[in-house]
A and B are shown apart, each in its own frame.
Chain A
Amino acid sequence: MGKKLLIHNDHVPGIATLEVYRQNGGYASVEKALKSMTPAEVVEEVKKSGLRGRGGAGFPTGMKWSFLAKPEGVERYLVCNADESEPGTFKDRYLMEKIPHALIEGMITSSYALGAKTSYIYIRGEYFYVARILEQAIEEAYAAGLLGKNILGTDFSHDCYVQVGAGAYICGEETALLESLEGKRGNPRIKPPFPAIAGLYGCPTVVNNVETIAAVCPIINMGGDEYAKIGVGRSTGTKLISASGHINKPGVYEIELGLPVEEFIYSEEYCGGIINGRKMKAVVAGGSSVPILPTELILKNDKGEPRLMTYESLSEGGFATGTMLGSGGFIVYDETTSIVKNLYTFARFYHHESCGQCSPCREGTGWMEKILHRIVEGHGKPSDIDLLWDIQRKIEGNTICPLGDAAAWPVASAIRHFRAEFEEYINHPERIKDVKHYYSVHQLAGA
């Protein structure tokens, strides 16, 4: 059984309350940091831990923190990215819903390290009931003197607020999130300047994912060096994985980075194998944006070595044969799944979520959706595959934010690894007519 640091107490009754959370060791990192460490020492521990951003990009958190500008007399902000909208990802929701104080504790400890007097948790609007849970946790923290003026009798004062979004995937991109938090459309900003220099209201700002901020607590408690001993190489610590699709046990799992992919999918401790004993066809390992891989490439890399759940192992082989750990949104598809139809749901998603600022993304995502739609409806043309390839290439790298890349990669990888299936759709539309390429709810009920 792997080590758990974030959700090990998720089944303790009442863990969402401050009382039970503290009885189980909660807020120890706030005590330790505020009473016995300088802010610089806290940053140093996070650097030593090797913690990398858990939202998807995997950027070293300690380094991101050390970039924060500290001009005299200018406010600094910590903003938590709780906009979790990457298809296949629901780990932050789980963490916030079950153990809301884990995030609040991380917000306080991290804000102390950064010298932020105010922080905001920007949560997607659809998670409204989760925002309510966070609000209650914050109220409890204020009442206990863990938020507000002179926290635990120290000189450090801090206010934390929840901001509810209103439905926009793009607001998970950090500069779009800041725009939205300022009451505007979620159009990503051109970088530089990076938020560390000019973020919220033009002030130096750190934006971190929910899981990243929550991970700061065990890092401070156990020390960065100890944390770094967990995992493999530059993939240190534990990671929350959201597992969904055609598996027996969908859900959120905390794994030690370095767990073999095969063990994650087939062991009873995690996904429990494929529904109805069917064969696995493909996996999206890190949320919809990362390349889809066929079974043989997700279980083993191109050198035949077992693939591990780490940033490095999953991306081995580049995009030709690899993928990315991304947000840890792990979607498994069995042999009955139509890769083309599944891709159509992704293309429709990105078209819907493009903010419309950059032409390649605004227009290209629409074209890709339209072409895929006609293919799945049985009206595809032989030239459509090359056309799709051409469009995705022209989107990738040509937009202000990574949404363009995120829209391009699923299309590129599906064609790269499953071209024959596209050809089948186009050349033999009669064979796909009336075939259901997904599980019906009845099949699942009997599963």
Chain B
Amino acid sequence: MEIKFNDETLALVQKTIKRYPEGKHKSALLPILHIAQAEFGGWLSPETMDYVASILNIKPIEVYEVASFYSMYNLKPVGKCLLEVCRTSSCWTRGAEDIVNHLEKKLGIKEGETTKDGMFTIKTVECLGSCGTAPMLQCGASFHENLTLEKVDSLLDEYRAAGKQRSYTDMDYKNTL
């Protein structure tokens, strides 16, 4: 994959940079990393990070240290659907562990692993602000709430049937960032 934004994306990047005062373009780093992750395979390879550094005219280390700090940036490849299951107190009190166990059994992988077909990755995450609708999981921009095991099953079927492209494309970055 060639690590280079197309003209349309590049225009979006330039528009993002203009939100900040002259000389403060580094503020655009987080949004641009989101765009880069969505565009270049769902994760941030060293090549991708170097490319972002060159666009913002900052040192590569400034990108690496940020990319490794925030949990939403994947520094390793992940499946097309990254299933992020909340495990903190409110979700835990309402069965989050059941959801994780069920996913592991159903997909034949452990938390943190990706299915052989590259379709699903299971990840446990900390509180996503969905405590009143627990248990929940996030995939791309979508919050799937008040989960039951049956709901999880139909969700997996739905994603599989859609042959879902990378989940972040449903985040509609192009129209938002």
Contact = CB atoms under 8 A, between A and B. Distances in A.
Interface of A: 75, 84-90, 92-93, 118, 124-129, 131-132, 135, 161-169, 180-186, 201, 242-246, 250-252, 284, 288, 329, 331, 333, 337, 341-342, 345-346, 348-349, 352-353, 355, 438-445
B14 to A, nearest CB: 15
Interface of B: 19, 21, 24, 26-31, 33-34, 56, 62, 65-66, 69-73, 87-90, 92-95, 97-99, 125-135, 138, 141-143, 147-149, 171-172, 175-177
A201 B95 contact: no
Given A89-B129, A441-B148, A445-B148, A165 B70 contact: yes
Contacts of A131: 176
B131 A88 contact: yes
A225 to B, nearest CB: 34
A89 B89 CA distance: 11
A169 B126 contact: yes
A334 to B, nearest CB: 8
A444 B128 contact: no
Contacts of B27: 163, 181-183
Nearest to A75: B21
A407 to B, nearest CB: 13
6 contacts: A129-B142, A164-B177, A166-B72, A182-B24, A441-B99, A444-B95
A124 B129 CA distance: 10
B127 A166 contact: no
Contact of A125 (B72, B127, B172): B72
Contacts of A444: 94-95, 148
Given A132-B175, A168-B70, A163 B132 contact: no
B95 A135 contact: no
Contacts of A445: 148
Interface centre among A132, A246, A439, A441 (most CB of B within 10 A): A441
Contacts of A85: 126-127, 129
A345 B92 contact: yes
A290 to B, nearest CB: 12
A90 B130 contact: yes
Given A87-B131, A126-B129, 11 more contacts: A90-B129, A125-B34, A131-B176, A132-B175, A169-B127, A244-B132, A245-B93, A246-B93, A252-B132, A348-B87, A353-B126
A167 B70 contact: yes
Contacts of B148: 441, 444-445
A395 B85 CA distance: 29
Contact of B133 (A168, A186, A250): A250
Given A168-B71, A342-B89, A438-B92, A183 B66 contact: yes
B119 to A, nearest CB: 21
Given A165-B30, A441-B147, A441-B149, A87 B88 contact: yes
B90 A125 contact: no
A251 B24 contact: no
A121 to B, nearest CB: 12
A251 B133 CA distance: 8
B93 to A, nearest CB: 5
A22 to B, nearest CB: 24
> Which 8 A-B residue pairings sit nearest by Cβ, starting from the closest?
A167-B71, A166-B70, A183-B29, A244-B131, A167-B72, A183-B26, A441-B95, A250-B132
Contacts of B177: 164
Contacts of B90: 87-88, 244-245, 331
Given A184-B66, A186-B69, A438-B92, A163 B31 contact: yes
Contact of A439 (B26, B94, B130): B94
A161 B93 CA distance: 37
A131 B72 CA distance: 15
Contacts of B87: 345, 348
Given A126-B138, A128-B141, A183-B66, A349 B88 contact: yes
A404 B87 CA distance: 21
Contacts of B56: 183
